[in-house]
A and B are shown apart, each in its own frame.
Chain A
Amino acid sequence: MNNIRKNRLKDQAFKVWGIACTLLGLILLLIFLGNIFMDGIQRINWSFLMNLPSRSPEKAGIYTALMGSLWVLSLSTIFALPVGIAAAIYLEEYGKKNKLASILEVNISNLAGVPSIIYGLLGLEVFVRIMEMGASVMAGSLTLGLLILPIVIVSTREAIKAVPKSIRDASFAMGASKWQTVYLQVLPASFGGILTGVILAVSRAVGETAPLIVIGALAYVPFAPLTPMDQFSVLPIQIFNWITRPQPGFVENAAAAIIILLFITFVMNGIAVYFRNKWQKKLK
């Protein structure tokens, strides 16, 4: 076989290999999801959603964990959203050329790479202990808020960057101040992108387990939180807890809870993608 034919064969072989690799991850994911689905789908019913945790697998439900997740996600968004948007506005519109801005940028990209469990250690020391919040919803929300802050900042910056310079020029030429231009033109125009970023940040936060375990969110919480200072659990911690229990009934519970968690995660991702497309069309 001469060289040219050999090379062609190698080329084709790699093509096949490439397709196989591409599909491998997705096929594995499908297998995993299918498996989970089969294990857990039976278990999902209204009582599963509404029940409190219990020592017996048939009676246990995810109600407290769902409520805990709802509380924590809402509060952490309330913390991270204004701070993140404000920081992004500063970096994109005000602080462009100074040295501080480049330090801030490096710092933010660093924070985005810090393992989430480290945020848990930070939250444990500062919120739970020094500020004496205990292992409360408040401490958990602040911790998660810090974790998703870099995500909100980065995606808001992207959204702001996408607004064409010509719009700012037109606004300044009409005598608008910098803040008027940001508030009346840039922010409304980047709204879709910011919304997308927030939804993605929340869909990431809903699955976070380690930092909340570290601050002391309990695995067995027989009540739903009523105030921000109450103790709490969240859905992924509930799943983790059930996985570690020996009784076989709990495996089904875990699988069922995973289905719920994945449903929430994928729906949010889908909504984010939908909004991103809608917003990108609007700017054109």
Chain B
Amino acid sequence: MGKEKNESVIESSLKRKYKLQAKDVNVFYDDFQAIKGISMDIKANSVTAFIGPSGCGKSTFLRLFNRMNDYVDGFRMEGKIFIDDQNINKKKINVEQLRKQVGMVFQKPNPFPKSIFENVAYGLKIQGIKDKTFLQERVESSLKQVALWDEVKDNLNKSALTLSGGQQQRLCIARTLAVEPSVILMDEPTSALDPLSTAKIEELIHELKNKYTIVIVTHNMQQAGRISDYTAFFYIGEIIEFDKTNKIFTNPEKKQTENYITGRFG
């Protein structure tokens, strides 16, 4: 993605104002309209949180960026999604290549029923990378990034299913990081975890922000307030407000946003 091979990294990122963009997006599942006319620009190296009541389209919208909705029956989209100024729904785009750039972490940790090492190495293996040294280095650095290395380094061949919930989720993040994406999508990544694991992962997100662009769907408003730079408030398929997190939580423009934040409805 991106044809600017000869320019320096700084120059190209100055040109590219936004990492992720959505323009006039509508999403339908058969006759039901899940997303109504959303446009959004997300900056690189930021953490953006999607908040709002259940069923308002947050996950659906999130999944537009790695085209995971393609598998759902009756899915239909209008409008455009851009990553690095490229429309990702064009026919010539290789979806598998896209997903190496855009990683996803799911709500319920879903490690593969394989060893810890195999889990993290999977993304590399499917690209055809076989070099054992390379794989080992990459696995180690990924596990270190998620602060799991010390806990598992002597047990890399144990099944990933023997880890605790929090550890499994960190493993899933490590697995995503191993392929060196530029964007990480997180769909309620801590809602199935205990408070201690949640805290560890929030700390992790804070560190990852330096290298990645992160979009996180969360039900937990306090979490959004803690970790995100920008927040989008979704309500029944529309974005009511999208702004710096600080502003949303202290001085929102819209009454509806204020009502949701203060818990008048949920």
The stretch among B53-61, B82-90, B106-114, B251-259 that forms the contact with chain A is B106-114
Q: Are A175 and B99 in contact (CB under 8 A)?
A: yes
Residue B245 CB within 8 A of the other chain: no
Question: Any chain B CB within 8 A of the CB of A5?
Answer: no
Which residue of the partner chain, among A167, A173, A180, contacts B113 with CB atoms under 8 Å? A167
Interface flag for B96 (CB, 8 Å): yes
Q: Whose C-beta in chain B lies nearest to the C-beta of A176?
A: B126
A177 within 8 A of B: yes
- A-side interface mostly: helix
* A172-B99 contact, Cβ under 8 Å, with A180-B126, A184-B122, A184-B126: yes
Q: Is the CB of B68 within 8 A of A175?
A: no
Asked whether, in the complex, the Cβ of B106 is within 8 Å of the Cβ of A169, the reply is yes
In the complex, chain B residues whose CB is within 8 Å of the CB of A284: 161
Q: Would you give the shortest CB distance from A30 to chain B, in whole angstroms?
A: 41
In contact, A189 and B126 (Cβ under 8 angstroms): no
Segment of B131-139, B172-180, B203-211, B218-226 engaged in the interface with chain A: B172-180
Q: Does A282 contact B (CB under 8 A)?
A: yes
Contact across chains for B179 and A166 when beta carbons are under 8 A apart: no
Q: For B178, give the chain A residue with the smallest CB separation.
A: A174
Q: How large is the interface on B (under 10, 10 to 19, 20 to 34, 35 or more residues)?
A: 20 to 34
Separation in Å of the A170 CB from the closest CB of chain B? 5
Q: Which of B95, B103, B113, B125 contacts A189 (CB 8 A)?
A: B113
Given contacts A174-B176, A177-B96, A180-B126, contact A169 B113 (CB under 8 A): no
B71 at the interface (CB under 8 A from A): yes
CB-nearest residue of chain B to A178: B96
Instruction: State whether the Cβ of B98 lies closer than 8 Å to any Cβ in chain A.
Output: yes
Q: Are A283 and B68 in contact (CB under 8 A)?
A: no
The chain B residue with its CB closest to the CB of A168 is: B71
Inter-subunit contact B71/A172 (CB<8 Å): yes
Residue in contact with A166 in the complex, picked from B66, B71, B97, B108, CB distance below 8 Å: B108
B residues lining the A interface (CB < 8 Å) = 66, 68, 71, 73, 95-100, 103-104, 106, 108, 110-114, 122-123, 125-127, 161, 172, 175-176, 179
Instruction: State the 5 A-B residue pairs at the shortest beta-carbon distance, nearest first.
Output: A175-B99, A166-B110, A173-B104, A175-B100, A175-B96
